[in-house]
Amino acid sequence: MVNELMSKDVDICALTDLNENAGTAALVDDMQLALFYVKKLEKVYALSNYDPFSEANVLSRGIIGSLGDELVVASPIYKQHFNLETGQCVEDQEVSILAYPVEIINGRVVIGSIN
């Protein structure tokens, strides 16, 4: 589920601030986000950092991988997988977390809103 973070784009950080092929937590408007920089694709994904299964803000510490053609992050607690683009849980179709649109603009990571 893709969600509107706020009514305008938000400059989060420089791309060089993110760890390659790993997660980084960011706090935006009192919301914890998990940012994942996939170096091979030169793409950043943004999800809620909140894991609904463990009820903890830990997804930024998860491991990036793939299940078939789907890029996912595995929760570090109970190991559920969440699609990096949509936030959909692979193991439980009734559960999804918020996903946010991301652009890299002039070397900056920008979270966008949906109009």
CATH architecture entry for 10-111: 3-layer Sandwich (2.102)
pLDDT band at residue 114 under the 50/70/90 scheme: very low
Average pLDDT, the chain: 92
**Residues 27, 49 contacting (CB under 8 angstroms):** no
pLDDT, position 1: 47
- Alpha carbons 79 and 49: distance in angstroms, whole number: 14
Q: Where exactly are the structural domains of the chain?
A: 10-111
Taking only the tens place, the pLDDT of each residue in 48-102 is 999 999 999 999 999 999 999 999 999 999 999 999 999 999 999 999 999 999 9
pLDDT, position 7: 58
- pTM summary value: 0.90
